[in-house]
Amino acid sequence: MKITADFPGGNIIVDEIKDNNIYLHQDLRTTTIDWFYWYFEVLQPSKGEHNFSFTKSPAIGVRGPAVSLDKGRTWNWLGDNKHILNGFMYDFTGDEESVRFSFAMPYQESHLKEFIDANIHNPLFKHLELGKTKKGRSIDLITLGDIYNSDVIVLTARSHCCEMMASYVLEGVIESILKNSSYLQDHAFFIVPFLDKDGVEDGDQGKSRAPHDHNRDFEDNSIYPSIIALKKRINELGAERFIGYIDFHCLYMAGYQNEHIYFVGSESPKIAEAQMEIGRMLEKTYTILPFEARGYLPFGESWNVGAGVKYQTGSSWATNNLPNVKLATTIEFPYANALGTPVTQKSAKSFGVKFGNVITSFFQ
């Protein structure tokens, strides 16, 4: 049996293997805080039940780990009935060539490529390059409609690269919007699916990346190529034509305020009212993942107290720099549990489809 993280998104450090007991922990490289992302593969596992124990800090969510038997393309939750203390048990048949485990359900460049290939022949859908990452990877830009002659809405995700479930939601949003061809006659979307693509592919945590993460990089002296290119392109296209900015995130691993979907309240009264309005619209729409508008987190409550004097988030930058913006917001999604309903690849994407319908209704 071999344990490896040598593939896109992989992240693990193995401490010790004693018979059927594996001791390991998440790699916190490039981050300044403890976080919980991990993703590894077991090759040619030996038959029988094995115990995987995390040795450094909490690393198991409310539905146990996610498990993939097809090299990370599709995933299922193992379930909390397989828990051990900060770990899990897995019973290998002995016939598997590969089993992958992760904190949640990874969404890599390969998933995005499959999605792009499925939509590339739609004349309203374009896949472009916004620029290059620090490591030379292509920064993907997807546009829907005519970004040169329409009102434009920005959609971004993975500024914290580990926040994978938000990418499935974004897929659903894009699919929903593409079906509304009449709407795209005078509205367009500017979409950056991986703001931290190096982190996504390298398997970093991304949260609180040193010296600061991508969602704290929107002040004048930005350091990340994706943020620099995003702001530059918006200004080139004309900041006055951008009417919306929605940034997709995931929450902490579990617990209070981390197991429901909600908008993060703006310091701007105008934007805060718009956030509550779209929340009320979303609540009235049936979604497979439940949404309650009362879950809205106002500015100044709990952790929502701003990024600090030195930093500015994407949504706050949009609020302050896009003169005609109607809504600039972060929306937070749980990794595994939304008010008791499982968050999966399918349910997250289905929620995104409904959210896409609400977005087009809101931005009329």
Average pLDDT over residues 251-273: 96
**Mean predicted confidence (pLDDT) in 152-169:** 98
Burial of 70 (0-12, 13-18, 19+ CB in 10 A): exposed
pLDDT tens for each residue of 13-44: 999 999 999 999 999 999 999 999 999 999 99
Residue 307 has pLDDT above 70, yes or no: no
pLDDT band with cut points at 50, 70 and 90 for residue 343: very high
What mean pLDDT comes out for the span 222-244? 98
310 pLDDT exceeds 80?
no
- Sketch out the chain's domains with CATH numbers: 2-102 (2.60.40.3120), 109-362 (3.40.630.10)
pLDDT average, residue stretch 173-195: 98
Of residues 257 and 328, the one with the higher pLDDT is: 328
Three-state DSSP class for residue 164: coil
In residues, how long is the chain? Answer: 364
Given a cut of 70, whether residue 150 has pLDDT beyond it is yes
* Residue 182 structure tokens: 């009449």
Asked if 332 and 302 count as a contact pair (C-beta separation under 8 A), the reply is no
The pLDDT assigned to 311 comes to 79
| Per-residue confidence (pLDDT) for residue 306, from 0 to 100 | 79
Q: Are 8 and 176 in contact (CB under 8 A)?
A: no
Residue 21 one-letter amino acid: N
Q: What is the pLDDT of residue 308?
A: 65
Rounded Cα distance between 113 and 136, Å, is 17
Indicate if the pLDDT at residue 309 is higher than 60: no
Average pLDDT value over all residues in the chain? 96
Q: How far apart are CA 193 and CA 198, in angstroms?
A: 12
∠ CA 290-61-202, rounded to 5° = 105
Distances (CA, A) of 270 to 20, 163, 256, 328: 57, 28, 28, 10
